[in-house]
Amino acid sequence: MPRRDLPGILWLPAAVAVLLLALPLVALITRVPWTRAGALLAAPESLSALLLSLGTALAATAAALVLGVPLAAVLASSDRWPTPARRLLRAAVTVPLVLPPVVGGIALLLLLGRQGLVGAPLQSLTGITVPFTTPAVVLAQTFVSMPFLVLAVEGALRGADPRYGIVAASLGASRWHAFRRVTLPLVAPGLVSGAVLCFTRALGEFGATITFAGSLPGVTRTLPVAAYLGLQTSPDSAIVLALLLLAVSVVVLVSLRDRWLRVGA
């Protein structure tokens, strides 16, 4: 397609925008104490934050898969519902997506805290308190990251040809058999990218975690929390932890580039 050149006036703000996005990362990378990076990462505090983050982010991703895939399937087939019910359901999925994570953390605290809607009876009946525990970290991460998975899987389900399901049914497959053996494999790419996106989001979760789960070393102090707190006490290890999070993001970006970033290709 022949096309006209861009008006020159756009170039300057575009260049500023690129610098705004890229320069901070350049600054981070130039400040990394490369020679001591290994030792800083291997320090007990860093290592425990890293392991805690990996474990909780994996658990949150697993929870999001187990709960979010069925939710995505319900959403994808909700077109014939009455409009208010459909909108309510969609809002329940999309609001956490745009909500500041701190607000999510406060809301979780008001639900599950000692005085909370569910937390108070839970404690008086079972003695269990959720906030400021490792499960609270997983809950906070799931709250924040599951919508990404739900929307990715819903999009994939809507894009799949419904006749595959009809064919499976006409071959005698029950609804569950057809969903498991045909529908899910058909949307596997969407499932994988949704899960990866969800995992990254959970790994980087900060606001809801620190609000709802706090920052107890080894229990709730995840990588982002450790990096933030480390800035005051040992900036070098904070920088190394930040670099680690950046590296994970880049790896995810590269692994998903074919699915998410080829908008213009």
Partner 1 sequence: MSGLDARLAVERGGFRLELELVVPPGAVVALLGPNGAGKSTGLGALAGAVPLASGRVVLDGRVLDDVAVGVSVDIARRSVGWMFQDALLFPHLSVAENVAFGLRAGGARRADALRTAGEWLGRLGIGELAGARPREVSGGQAQRVALARALAPQPHLLLLDEPLAALDAEVREEVRSGLRDGLRRHPGCTILVTHDPVDAEVLADEVVVVEGGRAVQRGTPDALRAAPATPYVSAMFPG
The region that residue 7 occupies, defined by phi over 0 for left and psi between -120 and 50 for alpha, beta otherwise, is beta
Q: Pick from 70, 87, 117, 174 the residue near partner 1 by CB under 8 A.
A: 174
* Spatial contact of 200 and 248, defined as CB atoms under 8 Å apart: yes
Contact string (CB under 8 A) for partner 1, positions 132-161, x = contact: -----------------------------x
Q: How far is the CB of 196 from partner 1 (least distance, A)?
A: 19
Q: Pick from 115, 170, 232, 233 the residue near partner 1 by CB under 8 A.
A: 170
Tokens of 180: 């498991």
Interacting stretch for partner 1, rule CB under 8 A, among 19-27, 150-158, 165-173, 194-202? 165-173
Q: Hey, how many other C-beta atoms are within 10 angstroms of the C-beta on 257? A: 11
Q: Counting contacts by CB under 8 A, is residue 175 touching partner 1?
A: yes
* Spatial contact of 145 and 61, defined as CB atoms under 8 Å apart: yes
CA angle 100, 103, 107 (to 5 degrees): 145
Tokens 């997983």 belong to 138
Interacting stretch for partner 1, rule CB under 8 A, among 74-82, 84-92, 126-134, 171-179? 171-179
C-alpha–C-alpha distance, residues 145 and 143, integer Å: 6
Nearer of residues 170 and 233 to partner 1, judged by Cβ: 170
* Spatial contact of 72 and 159, defined as CB atoms under 8 Å apart: no
Q: Pick from 70, 185, 218, 235 the residue near partner 1 by CB under 8 A.
A: 185
Of 41-80, which residues contact partner 1 (CB under 8 A)? none
Enumerate binding residues for partner 1 (CB under 8 A): 161, 163-164, 166-175, 177-178, 181-182, 185-186, 188
